[in-house]
């Protein structure tokens, strides 16, 4: 079972835009892009409807592509309490969507993700996107929220590999 292809989902939740990306990786092959996109939840709708949309569409994505694990940003900074609570709400329903399908959730600090992909914790979203496209060998048009999500999935894959090596 060690060589069975593994599907990992990266998630970049937000109260207005939630990016997601799924990659597939065997033990010896390079990771491939399976799916990526952005779920929009327009600010003019009531918050509970927006949360419902994020939850429903994420569950559809998970049902379609069957990832086994989920990586999200560990966010512990925000402009103010209101922003943090709004972000937390979107993050909560996103984590719930994964948990309902039995996905294990892993968290990575934003700086670690940038470091893993670009080699510096201060990389821009555009630099991250360029590396994501190169590493997945794709020319697909990706919104920045989607490439951020894919970066999380790639970071998680690298961390799993390092862990596996460490355990040998």
How many residues bind a copy of itself (CB under 8 A)? The answer is: 29
Residue 20 to residues 63, 137, 163, Cα–Cα distance (Å): 14, 18, 24
Element (H, E) at 77: none
Residue 47 touching a copy of itself (CB under 8 A): yes
Given the residues 12, 57, 69, 148, select the one marked as catalytic.
12
Residue 88 touching a copy of itself (CB under 8 A): yes
Q: Catalytic annotation on 145?
A: yes
CB 66 within 8 A of CB 22: no
- Name which of 89, 96, 98 is nearest 70 in CA terms: 98
Q: Catalytic annotation on 148?
A: no
Q: Which is nearer to a copy of itself, 99 or 111 (CB)?
A: 99
Binding region for a copy of itself (CB under 8 A) out of 98-106, 111-119, 122-130, 138-146: 98-106
**Minimum distance, C-beta of residue 53 to a copy of itself, in the bound complex (Å):** 10
Among 5, 27, 66, 99, binds a copy of itself (CB under 8 A): 99
Residue 117 and residue 131: Cα distance in Å, rounded?
A: 6
Q: Which is nearer to a copy of itself, 45 or 64 (CB)?
A: 45
Residue 39 and residue 11: Cα distance in Å, rounded?
A: 11
- Helix (H/G/I), strand (E/B), else coil: 17: strand
Residue 22 and residue 36: Cα distance in Å, rounded?
A: 6
Q: Which residues bind a copy of itself (CB under 8 A)?
A: 46-49, 51-52, 55, 75-78, 81-82, 84-93, 95-96, 98-100, 105
**Catalytic residue ranges:** 12, 73, 145
């Amino acid at each position: 079972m060690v060589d069975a292809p593994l599907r990992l989902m990266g998630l970049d939740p937000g109260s207005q835009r939630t990016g997601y990306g799924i990659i597939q990786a065997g033990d010896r092959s390079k990771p491939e892009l399976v799916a990526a996109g952005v779920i929009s939840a327009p600010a003019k709708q009531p918050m509970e409807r927006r949360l419902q949309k994020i939850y429903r569409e994420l569950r559809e994505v998970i049902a379609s592509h069957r990832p086994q694990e989920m990586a999200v940003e560990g966010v512990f900074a925000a402009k103010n309490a209101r922003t943090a609570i709004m972000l937390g709400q979107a993050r909560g329903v996103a984590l719930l969507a994964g948990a309902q399908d039995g996905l294990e959730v892993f968290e990575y600090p934003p700086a670690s993700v940038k470091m893993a992909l670009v080699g510096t914790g201060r990389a821009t979203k555009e630099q991250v996107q360029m590396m994501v496209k190169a590493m997945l060998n794709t020319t697909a048009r990706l919104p920045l929220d989607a490439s951020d999500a894919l970066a999380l999935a790639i970071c998680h894959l690298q961390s799993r590999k390092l862990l596996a090596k460490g355990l040998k």
